[in-house]
A and B are shown apart, each in its own frame.
Chain A
Amino acid sequence: MRRSAAIVLGPCAVGLVAAAIFVGAAAPVAAQVVPCRGLTPASGYKVLLDVLVFVSPEVGTDREMQALLDRLQNALHFKLEELRYLKGPVALEVLQCVGRKPKSDGDFDAGMVDALNTRGVVLEIWGSLDGRKEGARVRDRSAAMRYVVVPLRHYERGSPQLPGGYRARYVAASSGVDYLQLIEQAKDLDAYVAMGIGIKLLKSTEYDRAREYLCKADHLMRETWGEQPPAPEQQALVAYVTAAAREALKGSLGVNSAGNVRVVGDRPCPKASARP
């Protein structure tokens, strides 16, 4: 009887299926958050490099953008080399996600962030590039970048001080600096990656390694934003990283969080000058 009902409902189902296919076909051609090819649940940490766009078509073509992305993927691979061997080797790769273009942090809801986190993604990057064309040269190059620190967004979900999604704007000091150098020189990117790995290690109770990465993030953030960061979200990040590093230190000393660890003090990380 129920099967019969299913048969009767068959045309409705087919209609719904057709409607779904139609809706899919009618969706905008420029898809937004599509799956990142090559992103698997295999072990290791990943940085996802999504689509970058030229704000003005006169600044560059699609082909130039693809070439830039390929170069940037390689550049980031080498840029993050230090983080691979900070405290024993970690697997860290940069994946280029063709066609993936998030609109905003809103695309990273709890389900998406959970799925990314379980796949080892520590940072997702996208953005837009701008400039002013003067003859054959491009002047006033700038890059408006967006970052989502996946582990932070996952584990601190709902925290208004720690949204996990951040913006940065880099402006070329001279016309000799190209887009690749502009992004490659950004130290906050390294800080976000170090923080992401540090949080993942902390959650895996690998305290010694976690502290190393969190302290590296702390150091890079202070170097980039100063000892007293101007923006509230930067202040919240530094405070979070310091607290997480303290937790890692307590964990490695085998003291629970309620214990009084005098050796930790206010700064669980050595000062930059004391670092090797």
Chain B
Amino acid sequence: MESLETRLARVEGMMSATLARLGEEAGKAPTPAPAPPRKGVLDVVQAFGPIVSGLLVALVAYVLTGSVTQILEERRVELSFGQAMQPLLVKLRDSKADRIEAEATALTLAVAFGKDAALPLLSELQTGTEVSVPAAEKALQALGLNHREPTCDVLARAVGNRTRLFSWTTQRTAARLLADLDCQHAVPTLAAYRAFLVSLAAQPPERALEEYRQAVRDEPPVSIGTLAELRAAIDQALRLLDRQRATRPSG
């Protein structure tokens, strides 16, 4: 059995050898320390990510809040316009409203609500009484002087419609107004309507009426005479617009 001293001496020898080896290794050229990893785009993103995402969230929140506020604001204005319009529209249809009162009411609608009054006035042309319809036409004339483009757009849509949404009388009045208001953008719409009427005139009367009734509301009833009347109105509108365009200074 080895003595304790012997075993200590062997451990001491082993430790000395290990230290010597370590010393040798330490004496060799030192290995350069590994370079710190370069910072890539990802690192930048990682570093600034929270800040950027925070900013983005703030921006989106700002934009969303702005849009929502704007939408809410618009809805609020539309609602208040609608509420304010309602008594005037009721008054315009009132069975006791005199011709002069109806004209004053329609004109007030046009002045007070501007372009937002174009649709209700067009609706009045379509469904109003013999008193409110002429009043609405006069109001649309006045409206067109102040807000020509939106008024022209609404009227041109009525003339261009072929889904039986409008009657021939509404389209005839709208065509007249397009000319009155010098709606030059509506010339192609009017020309297309004219072409439609010309194509109908080439057909036997009953067939022409049937085809026309599929495109335009038949109330008031349509006859061959009304088609001729309508064509005359469209021709007149195109002539007026052409004359107006010719009188404009060039350039």
In the complex the two chains form, what is the Cα distance from A6 to B85 in whole Å? 14
A35 and B97 within 8 A (CB): yes
A204 and B224 within 8 A (CB): yes
Q: Which residues of A contact B70 (CB under 8 A)?
A: 3
Residue pairs across A and B with CB atoms within 8 Å: the count is 116
Given contacts A36-B130, A39-B130, A111-B134, contact A203 B99 (CB under 8 A): no
Picked from B100, B219, B228, the residue with its CB within 8 Å of the CB of A41 is B219
Q: Give chain A nearest CB distance to B213 CB in angstroms.
A: 13
B46 at the interface (CB under 8 A from A): no
Picked from A24, A27, A118, the residue with its CB within 8 Å of the CB of B220 is A118
Q: Which residues of B contact A20 (CB under 8 A)?
A: 88, 91, 104-105, 108
Interface size on A, residues (CB 8 A): 42
Q: Which residues of A contact B81 (CB under 8 A)?
A: 6
Q: In chain B, residues 41-100, which have Cβ atoms closer than 8 Å to a Cβ of chain A? A: 70, 73-74, 77, 80-81, 84, 87-88, 91, 95-100
Given contacts A20-B104, A39-B129, contact A115 B134 (CB under 8 A): yes
Q: Digit string of B213-228 for contact with A (CB within 8 Å is 1, else 0)?
A: 0000001110111101
A27 and B226 within 8 A (CB): no
B151 at the interface (CB under 8 A from A): no
Which of A10-18, A80-88, A220-228 has 4 or more CB atoms under 8 Å from chain B?
Answer: A10-18
Q: Digit string of A35-72 for contact with B (CB within 8 Å is 1, else 0)?
A: 11101011100000000000000000000000000000
B210 at the interface (CB under 8 A from A): no
A34 and B95 within 8 A (CB): yes
Given contacts A16-B108, A20-B105, A33-B131, contact A6 B87 (CB under 8 A): no
Picked from A19, A24, A35, A120, the residue with its CB within 8 Å of the CB of B129 is A35
A112 at the interface (CB under 8 A from B): yes
B108 and A17 within 8 A (CB): yes
Q: In chain B, residues 129-152, which have Cβ atoms closer than 8 Å to a Cβ of chain A? A: 129-135, 137-138
B112 at the interface (CB under 8 A from A): yes
In the complex the two chains form, what is the Cα distance from A23 to B88 in whole Å? 12
Interface residues of B (CB under 8 A from A): 70, 73-74, 77, 80-81, 84, 87-88, 91, 95-101, 104-105, 108, 111-114, 129-135, 137-138, 167, 169, 219-221, 223-226, 228-229
Per CB-CB distance, the 10 closest pairs between chain A and chain B, nearest first, are: A111-B134, A204-B225, A35-B129, A41-B220, A20-B108, A13-B112, A115-B130, A31-B98, A33-B99, A204-B223
Given contacts A24-B91, A31-B96, A119-B220, 16 further A-B contacts (CB under 8 A): A3-B74, A13-B112, A14-B84, A17-B112, A24-B97, A31-B101, A35-B130, A39-B129, A41-B169, A41-B219, A42-B220, A43-B220, A114-B134, A115-B129, A116-B130, A203-B229
